[in-house]
Structure 1
């Protein structure tokens, strides 16, 4: 699934594809916001670790879990 994270005071956003489900990502972010933790950790589909400070979190957009089609549709 595609994940897009907006950082405050930054013109760029973090965009990556993750093997985590939408509910897992939502739980990680909600828990971090409710518990006042300093950062969130997310892992992309290639194993890269993303650590984002919660204080600078602008928004998190979680894409659909559907797979992409390859080929022609008749």
Structure 2
């Protein structure tokens, strides 16, 4: 699922594709935002992101529903 971060004073967004459940990630992000602490996430390729939460304006957490791929015949 994709997690999109918006930061103050910039039009650019940070989008990270991570594995995990939406509820768990939401709780982890809310905790870091409430404590104004650094948030550490690992993406699907194993890259580690450390995000300072003091400049985060919004977070969009994608749905856990997988996308349908392919064609359906009748």
TM bin (shorter chain): 0.7 to 0.9
Alignment partner, residue 43 of structure 2 = 44
Alignment partner, residue 27 of structure 2 = 27
* Number of aligned positions between the proteins: 73
Rg larger for: 2
Alignment partner, residue 67 of structure 1 = 66
Residue 67 of structure 2 aligns to a residue whose secondary structure is coil
Q: Distance in 2 between matches of 1:61 and 1:43?
A: 17
Structure 1 pair 52/64, CA: closer, same or farther in 2 (3 Å)? same
Q: What RMSD over aligned residues (CA atoms) do the two structures have, in Å?
A: 1.3
Per the TM alignment, residue 73 of structure 1 is displaced from its structure 2 partner at its CA by 2.8
**Over 4 Å off, 4+ runs:** none
Q: Distance in 2 between matches of 1:51 and 1:9?
A: 19
Q: Distance in 1 between matches of 2:36 and 2:4?
A: 21
Unaligned runs of at least 5 residues, structure 1: none
Unaligned runs of at least 5 residues, structure 2: none
